[in-house]
Structure 1
Amino acid sequence: MRRREFITLLGGAAAAWPLAARAQQPAGRVYRVGYFATTSRERSLHLMKAFEEGLRSLGYRVGENVAIEYRFADGEMGRLSALATDLVRLGVDVIVAGNNTNTVAVMKVTTTIPIVVASSADPVSAGLVASLARPGGNVTGIAQDTGGEQHVKRLELVKDTLPNVSRVGVLWNPDFSPNPARLSSMQEAAPALGLTLVPAEARGLDALEQAFATMVKERTQALVVLSDGVLFNFRGQIGVMAIRDRLPAVAAAREYAETGFLLTYGIDLRDGFRRSAAFVDKIFKGAKPADLPIEQPTRFELVINLRTAKALGVIMPPALLARADQVLE
């Protein structure tokens, strides 16, 4: 959507808010939200806008009846503890965290301030909640996946797109706790697809060149990225490297396709951040995170970048193009 259209849409939505929604909040009360991202402000801007849009649809107006304290780690995991501590020190009413990593950082410094995670990965196994139905602590929110099925599906999409591929690189950050289980699921599924996986670790920007050198040396023919906050922040650099090394790349979120990946399959992150505002609203009204079930994904989107396909000389199967939710041309 173009920026002008986006602004017009927001203006129209604001005009259509029911008076009842605008009057929901107690007169004079200003709620305080902490917004905590492992990525940079620039890389998070569209997700911030989606969250604020969700708040507006529920009658909240930033600067009037809600204030948002933003904190960004810029992909530097060493900063998470200090940023989390700072938000807790401010005494915000609720903290919106983007993923598992910054959620864990906040959990280490508070057991009382509610935490809404907008895109959690297998939150039960990661120890964020006791169960999906009854989280049981101070964390609730939205799951982007609850197991390894999506990651196996991405391998299947690689094979559907490139039937002759046999060696696939897997770029992953071992510091992200769900990743070992994700990688294990993919390794178990790979033989049935006729694939050999070549894992390449990358904990940050400075490790990407070595990871790509490993995959090239191992003669990989395609690439799957296990997304986390760090690699999401550097998705643009990864996309450029993948095209440079002639590696058709696949990942979870459309944001990767928008920066040069061949295709993505996963949830709409913007929708997750927009929906997280409903959890914040319920908490403002007295609900406890322990009693708010984790919402699971109900829809996954397939995004294909035809510009990248042309650059790599990949002919996308017509059947796959017909299934795509969006084709970038």
Structure 2
Amino acid sequence: MRRRDFISLLGGVPIVRPVNVRAQSPTIPVVGVLHSQTRETEASRLIAIQQGLGDVGFVVGRNVLFEHRYAEGQNARLPALAAELVERRVNVILANTTPPAIAAKAATTTIPIVFVTGVDPVEVGLVASVNRPGANVTGVTFLSNKLVAKRLELLCDVIPAHVPIGMLAAEHNPNTATDIRDTQAAADALRRVLHVEKVSPKGDIDAPLMRLQQQRIGALFVAPQADFRLWRPPILKFATQHKLPTSFGSSDQVVGGGLMSYGPDQIDSYREAGVYTGRVLKGEKPATLPVLIATKFEFAVNLKTAKALGVTLPPSLLVLATNVIE
């Protein structure tokens, strides 16, 4: 049989030699995760992100990889860490809290960014609007800074009316100005005296705590900022020594020994961020993915801490709790 006849029997399709199978294997996408805190403080949130990715078919180590960068409480390091992820050419940057999101947005206009933030993302310039973010950025917000009035009201239920309240806020956190403004407005509405101390990332937290104690405060209100995940141990040690009720913005701080928290279910928000990251990896554009706003909230109280502080939690308060730690 002549060669042309043989080809015609195959329908005119030339025979092609098989290529190396390894060359055909798809490249595993890489998610660059930018953190303001440490590996230890972010562990539970990372698990939630992985659960969200799993909901849309991605398993870390199998068909998606993580590339982490941790600022370890030093937000000034974030621009350089974001630049490293851009140079690494990751497929998506997942920005864990507001400062990493701001740094990531400044570092790239092409790599998709999914953020998790506790503030209004329009107010801090992350997106053009909640419904249509525009550009390369979208994410999840739980607007915890909008809940300070309710948090302060709940804290006031366990202390005498004449007792001043101390507030801690991170000096270089982009949310600090609005957190202090909103908390002061809530204190004024409740006719409470509020003393504010800012904590420097390179400073000693004991000094601002002692300055608050000199004001004879009767309770401690901690700004809803990720910085305080790292500072929780010295804060709780101080609160125990001086018998001070504490209020935090997330329930993991209460599980760790704080008295109470009121805020969004952050773990659920991080799971949703994982889902969004997976959707972007599948080709959806951040510009058209609306920013998700948390709808699940929780009020947590720690009865063991209350007993240690000698604080009586009224029944009217306990009936509101969605998470009681005994």
Shared fold (TM-score, shorter chain, > 0.5): yes
**Counterpart of 2:207?**
210
Alpha-carbon separation, structure 2, partners of 1:178 and 1:236: 22
* Aligned-partner SS, 1:207: coil
Alpha-carbon separation, structure 1, partners of 2:65 and 2:184: 45
Alpha-carbon separation, structure 1, partners of 2:226 and 2:311: 29
Question: Percent identity at matched positions?
Answer: 35
Letter in 2 for 1:122: D
Alpha-carbon separation, structure 1, partners of 2:209 and 2:322: 29
Alpha-carbon separation, structure 2, partners of 1:261 and 1:191: 25
**Counterpart of 2:11?**
none
Letter in 2 for 1:139: V
Displacement of 1:49 after TM fit? 1.1
Q: Which moved more, 1:49-58 or 1:216-225?
A: 49-58
Whether the aligned pair in 1 keeps the contact of 2:148 and 2:186 (CA below 8 Å) is no
- The question of 1:227 aligning with 2:244 is answered no
- The question of 1:82 aligning with 2:104 is answered no
**Counterpart of 2:10?**
none
Displacement of 1:205 after TM fit? 6.3
Alpha-carbon separation, structure 2, partners of 1:46 and 1:318: 31
Letter in 1 for 2:101: T
Displacement of 1:283 after TM fit? 1.0
Letter in 2 for 1:46: S
* C-alpha RMSD of the superposition: 1.7
Q: Which moved more, 1:46-55 or 1:238-247?
A: 238-247
Q: Which moved more, 1:230-239 or 1:251-260?
A: 230-239
Whether the aligned pair in 2 keeps the contact of 1:119 and 1:142 (CA below 8 Å) is yes
**1 or 2, which has the higher helix percentage?**
1
Letter in 2 for 1:70: H
Alpha-carbon separation, structure 1, partners of 2:186 and 2:117: 25
- The question of 1:200 aligning with 2:185 is answered no
Whether the aligned pair in 2 keeps the contact of 1:119 and 1:272 (CA below 8 Å) is no
**Counterpart of 2:105?**
107
Whether the aligned pair in 2 keeps the contact of 1:205 and 1:234 (CA below 8 Å) is no
**TM-score, length-normalised on structure 1?**
0.87
* Aligned-partner SS, 2:41: helix
Equivalent positions of 1:277-316 (< 5 A) are 277-316=274-313
Number of residue pairs the alignment of both structures matches: 303
Letter in 2 for 1:277: G
**Counterpart of 1:236?**
233
- The question of 1:251 aligning with 2:215 is answered no
Change (3 A) 1:94 1:52: same
Gaps of 5+ in 2: 1-23
Letter in 1 for 2:177: P
Alpha-carbon separation, structure 1, partners of 2:151 and 2:115: 24
Deviations 1:23-45 (A, max 9, x none): xxx97352110111111101111
Displacement of 1:135 after TM fit? 1.1
* Aligned-partner SS, 1:80: helix
Letter in 1 for 2:137: V
Deviations 1:245-280 (A, max 9, x none): 222110100121122211001112211111111211
Alpha-carbon separation, structure 2, partners of 1:165 and 1:114: 50
**Counterpart of 1:145?**
143
Gaps of 5+ in 1: 1-25
Displacement of 1:117 after TM fit? 0.8
Letter in 1 for 2:50: E
Query: Out of 164, 167, 174, which is 1:177 matched to?
Result: 174
Displacement of 1:163 after TM fit? 4.3
Larger Rg: 2
Alpha-carbon separation, structure 2, partners of 1:308 and 1:165: 23
Letter in 2 for 1:298: T
Alpha-carbon separation, structure 2, partners of 1:184 and 1:119: 18
Q: Which moved more, 1:87-96 or 1:155-164?
A: 155-164
Whether the aligned pair in 2 keeps the contact of 1:32 and 1:92 (CA below 8 Å) is yes
Displacement of 1:181 after TM fit? 1.5
